[in-house]
Structures are given as structure tokens and as C-alpha cells.
């Protein structure tokens, strides 16, 4: 089992010094990856399904990961996730290629379609066609990352006669992970990605998602064991982190990576304490 640390760009880790020390501590403890969340804006006042109060600070994923890349050497860097239909695909491709180059090929590109209508409305992006826009934007990014003469002609993006250098350090492109808990999300992971990321799941919900992923893989003729499964567990009552037995139950389902969210850590001491506890009780034991 691999372990990741979520929220390296938000809450207490929106402070550069806290983010730096948390990233270095996680790398030293044996965490395999660091992960960001993303909401460009949050509804104010908070209303369902918005996940956070509007006052919670959240750094841009690419900026935050580039910063912690400069203070680490080997831990991987995941966007968990970037809301792709809200982005310009060529600008984002440039930003992520730059991050991959500056980190010596450590980027994991986590993608999602988003779910907060208020966020889309504020950005002037149509909410109803976000799935189709996401898939087309991803194809456009892959074109500019991989084609000798990048060219793309779609409904939402079109270009030719351009170059965008440097290309990502990872060839042909960084690993792609799709997030989401719907049949459509499972299908995108099966068709388009190296992995899938499920957020805030207990063991039973993870089991149901994995069943959906297996069915999606069957429908497109892909072997399920080619898909890397990452999960952020739902917080357990009265526990800072999940216990070893629960981690093993996730592993038995076929989960390859647990991306742990320090949701109860309100400051640097809490985050560093959580990292130390994971090192002591989980890493190397699952």
C-alpha cells in the first residue's frame, strides 16, 4: 500500500512554511505522494454541496505543488483533482508541463469534472456540458504534449501551427487519474486514465465504487488490474487517522494508495503529528 498526504495546498498548509515542513516530513516518513484539492472559488455563504466554508484558504494546485517540489526530492505530486472544464487546456498544459519539468517528472495529473454549479456560474463556464468539455480538453492537452506538430480541432478547443515547450519530463505524458463516484466517472477512468481517485469513502462505499470500475473496465475491454485505485478514506469517529485494520480492509478491496486527509489537524503541530502517527502505525505495515 502506498500512502499519500492530502491538502498540501489548503488550510494550515496554505502557509508556505507549514507546507514546506509538512512536505519534507511526509517525504522523510515514507509517504509516496502529496496531493492538492481545488476550488477556484467557493460559495459565500456556504451551502450544500459546497465542501468548505468560504474562508478556508486554498492555493492554486500547480503553484503549491511547484513550491513543495522545490523543497523535496522524490515524493510524487498529485492534483487531486483539477477541475478541468474550468481551465484553458493550453494554459493548463503549459503550467503542468512546467511543474513536471521542475520536479524532475513527479507529477500525477488528477482530473475531475466538478460539481459546484455556483463555481461554474462565477467562472462563466456552462455547467451542463462539463463532462464533454473535460474529455475534449484532455485530448487537446495530450495533443500539445505528445504531437510533433500539435493540432486539434474540437467543439471547445481548436489549434494548429503552434508549439508549447518544454514538453513534460514524463514521456509520453504524466500519469492521468480521474476522480468521481458516478458511472460516467468510472467510464472515464477506464477509457482515459491510468488510475481512479475516490474521495471521502468508507470501506463499503469504496467496495461499491470498485464494483462500478470493474464493470466500466469490462464494458471497454480493459483489464481492471491495469487501473491504479486511490482512495481518501472518510474520517473515522474520534480518530486522527484510520486504524491498521481498516487500512488492510481497503487493501483487500484492491486499493493501491490511501491519500490521507488531516481533517482534524488545524495547525502545523497537528499535521506533523498526523504524519508521525501514520509513519508509526501504517507505513510499511499494509
Domain locations along the chain: 2-281
Asked if the model's pLDDT at residue 241 lies above 90, the reply is no
Cβ neighbours of 52 (radius 10 Å) = 15
Contact in structure between 69 and 108 (CB atoms under 8 Å): no
For 171-227, the pLDDT digits (tens) are 999 999 999 999 999 999 999 999 999 999 999 999 999 999 999 999 999 999 999
Contact in structure between 269 and 10 (CB atoms under 8 Å): no
Q: How many whole angstroms separate alpha carbon 241 and alpha carbon 219?
A: 36
Rounded to two decimals, the pTM is 0.97
For 117-154, the pLDDT digits (tens) are 999 999 999 999 999 999 999 999 999 999 999 999 99
Contact in structure between 276 and 26 (CB atoms under 8 Å): no
**In 3D, which of 28, 25, 90, 98 has the Cα closest to residue 61?**
98
Asked if the model's pLDDT at residue 264 lies above 90, the reply is no
Cell numbers given for 86: 474550468
Distance set, CA 5 to CA 120, 262, 268 (Å)? 27, 8, 14
Would strands 82-83 and 152-153 be described as parallel, antiparallel, or unpaired? unpaired
Topology, domain 2-281: TIM Barrel (3.20.20)
Contact in structure between 179 and 196 (CB atoms under 8 Å): yes
Q: How many whole angstroms separate alpha carbon 144 and alpha carbon 139?
A: 9
**In 3D, which of 2, 17, 54 has the Cα closest to residue 177?**
2
With H, G, I as helix, E, B as strand and everything else as coil, classify residue 205.
Answer: helix
User: Whole-angstrom distance between the N-terminal and C-terminal Cα of the chain?
Assistant: 6
Contact in structure between 4 and 33 (CB atoms under 8 Å): yes
Mean pLDDT of the chain: 97
Amino acid at each position: 500500500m502506498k500512502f499519500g498526504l492530502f491538502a498540501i495546498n489548503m488550510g494550515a498548509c496554505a502557509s508556505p512554511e507549514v507546507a514546506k515542513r509538512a512536505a519534507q516530513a511526509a517525504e522523510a516518513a515514507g509517504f509516496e505522494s502529496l496531493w492538492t484539492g481545488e476550488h477556484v472559488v467557493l460559495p459565500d455563504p456556504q451551502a450544500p454541496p459546497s465542501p468548505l466554508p468560504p474562508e478556508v484558504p486554498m492555493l492554486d494546485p500547480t503553484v503549491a505543488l511547484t513550491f513543495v517540489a522545490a523543497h523535496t526530492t522524490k515524493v510524487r505530486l498529485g492534483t487531486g483533482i483539477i477541475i478541468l472544464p474550468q481551465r484553458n487546456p493550453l494554459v493548463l498544459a503549459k503550467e503542468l508541463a512546467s511543474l513536471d519539468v521542475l520536479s524532475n517528472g513527479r507529477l500525477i495529473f488528477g482530473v475531475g469534472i466538478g460539481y459546484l454549479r455556483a463555481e461554474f456560474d462565477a467562472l462563466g463556464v456552462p455547467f451542463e456540458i462539463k463532462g464533454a468539455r473535460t474529455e475534449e480538453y484532455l485530448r487537446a492537452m495530450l495533443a500539445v504534449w505528445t504531437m510533433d506538430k500539435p493540432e486539434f480541432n474540437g467543439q471547445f478547443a481548436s489549434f494548429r501551427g503552434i508549439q508549447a515547450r518544454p514538453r513534460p519530463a514524463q514521456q509520453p505524458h504524466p500519469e492521468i487519474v480521474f476522480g468521481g463516484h458516478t458511472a460516467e466517472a468510472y467510464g472515464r477512468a477506464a477509457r482515459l486514465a491510468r488510475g481512479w481517485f475516490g474521495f471521502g469513502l468508507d470501506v463499503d462505499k469504496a467496495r461499491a465504487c470498485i464494483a462500478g470500475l470493474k464493470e466500466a473496465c469490462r464494458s471497454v475491454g480493459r483489464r481492471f488490474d491495469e487501473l491504479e485505485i486511490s482512495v481518501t478514506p472518510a474520517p473515522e469517529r474520534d480518530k486522527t487517522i484510520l486504524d491498521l485494520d481498516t487500512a488492510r480492509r481497503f487493501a483487500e478491496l484492491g486499493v493501491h494508495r490511501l491519500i490521507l486527509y488531516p481533517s482534524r489537524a488545524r495547525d502545523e503541530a497537528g499535521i506533523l503529528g498526523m504524519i508521525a502517527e501514520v509513519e508509526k502505525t501504517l507505513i510499511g505495515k499494509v
